[in-house]
Structure 1
């Protein structure tokens, strides 16, 4: 009974009606009045609080106001950060490639390469074969391939292939060889004695990839040619070309001299490199 009585009292308090009146202070005229109960006030207050919280959440979550809250970042900043990340990654790759390229050039300048032994006997044997003893008659597949290639060349307006059979190296200078090419002592060049300020010419068409002063070899210029061929010219008095210049075969790129700690007199230190390996220049050039 006591519990029921207590519940009834609570229900009466919640449902007991009150009147909220707004009066004019001077005339005591009733301007506004509303009937309320404690239950109505609690329900209305709860609904207003829920609506206020929900509206605040939506306002922050779906508008730019969230950028002012610590821990949130704007979409523009995320986009810029992503773009910077990709640019940094691309720049890092370019730097890695440049470092590898400069490292290979440094090995060429310092002569830090492995020796390559060529079997000259096999070359001599191949050149001494009698063509009449060989079976040079084309096979059926070869004949069909020749017909296809002939038709492609006949109706193709543009050249699809360039032959390197006419690739000729131009002598950079003409003089006496004072020190020949020798792999055993790691002398990957020929030293050609010439008067000072003798024009040094490019051995073939190419691009200047290095044109600087070095303490040991003086003024050095390196030209990259087609077919992965690189020519090196050291101990020059002056350089007439800069890095990035395009040169033709026989074009003057430097003046011979006696610069650098390793120089013993006016001469040209000339090197040839093919695919990273030293090549004897006298095999291809008549000095």
Structure 2
């Protein structure tokens, strides 16, 4: 009991420190304290120091002193690089399939046409089991970020439906897009995927101008041995129009064109041509559709 009382007295006993001038002993300042106050102040200072140290170790100093922080930063950078690499690989895959799509359009081979989100090969469009899209199928809409983005942007599936068992969503429906007649004339060969004829053969007057069916951007304007002078236009809503066997082309790749604008002159170019005419194709989401279902001829 006596020891506890002595210790308590030692804690609460006040002491005074006087600071004097050494020469004349004049009093400069004084301050009083007790050991209890010193201990309290010391504990508070220690807690404050530890708290600041922890805070700095997780922020500013952590970048240089904390190995765990540095490792976490490196892991985050690796994740970002991996994500960027995945996006590049996906874009590269889309570009490869986009090229194959054009090969199919130019060579008129339905079996090389792919959908970008088809992982099941049974969903690929081929000549032995052609997929014919009806107008009601195209009424289903798909969201596209950009009117002239690549043909096939991968979309979230909500129901299994239409378009060869692949579901897409479009901001607006196809009938809202007015399609201009590309050439006034007589249809000599109709659309027939069973014989790998994925378009219409239209015979018009000599030197008849060929007009673009809708606003869009020219993505191909070139010469091929089989189809002669060919021009391909990308439209909104994943539509692509193809014009083959032309005599002259008026637009280059990258040009924007308006609906009804003259883009070529009907001709007889290419080995597959049997006389002056226009071979016209309309593609939707990588599938050839019958132009007569959507365009008045």
Give the TM-score normalised by the residue count of structure 2.
0.50
Specify the SS of the correspondent of 2:177: coil
2:203 aligned residue: 193
Which of the residues 110, 113, 131 maps onto 1:116?
131
- What SS does the corresponding residue of 2:98 show, helix, strand or coil? helix
Partner of 1:100: 97
Match of 1:241 in 2: 251
Aligned residues of 1:190 and 1:270 also touching (Cα < 8 A): yes
Name stretches of at least 5 consecutive residues in structure 2 with no aligned partner. Answer: 1-80, 111-125, 138-170
| Structure 1 residue aligned with 2:275 | 265
Would the alpha carbon gap of residues 188 and 164 (structure 1) be closer, same or farther in structure 2, given more than 3 Å must change?
closer
Query: How many residue pairs get matched?
Result: 165
- Report matched runs for 1:23-42 at 5 Å: none
Q: Secondary structure at the match of 1:103?
A: helix
Aligned in 2, Cα 1:261/1:165: closer, same or farther, shift over 3 Å?
closer
Which whole-Å deviations, capped at 9, do the CAs of 1:33-89 have from their partners, x for residues lacking one? xxxxxxxxxxxxxxxxxxxxxxxxxxxxxxxxxxxxxxxxxxxxxxxxxxxx99xx6
Deviation of the 1:197 alpha carbon = 2.1
Q: Is the 8 A contact 2:132 2:289 kept in 1?
A: no
Runs of 4+ in 1 over 6 A off after TM superposition: 89-93
Structure 1: gaps of 5 or more residues: 1-84, 124-160
Mapping of 1:134-213 within 5 angstroms?
165-213=175-223
C-alpha separation between the residues in 1 aligned to 2:102 and 2:247? 21
**Which residue does the alignment assign to 1:226?**
236
1:184 is paired with a residue of what secondary structure?
A: helix
> Which has more radius of gyration?
1
Q: Is the 8 A contact 1:222 1:233 kept in 2?
A: yes
- CA shift for structure 1 position 98: 3.0
The one-character-per-residue Cα deviations of 1:132-170 (angstroms, maximum 9, x if unpaired) are xxxxxxxxxxxxxxxxxxxxxxxxxxxxx7665531110
What SS does the aligned partner of 2:281 have?
strand
Q: What value does the CA root-mean-square deviation take over the aligned residues? A: 2.9
SS in 2 for 1:231: strand
Question: Where do residues 19-98 of structure 1 align in structure 2 (5 Å cutoff)?
Answer: 96-98=93-95
CA contact (8 A) 2:246 2:267 kept: yes
Q: Is the 8 A contact 2:186 2:204 kept in 1?
A: yes
* Aligned 8 A contact 2:282 2:291 in 1: yes
1:259 offset after TM fit, Å? 0.3
Q: 1:177 to 1:116 in 2, by over 3 A?
A: same
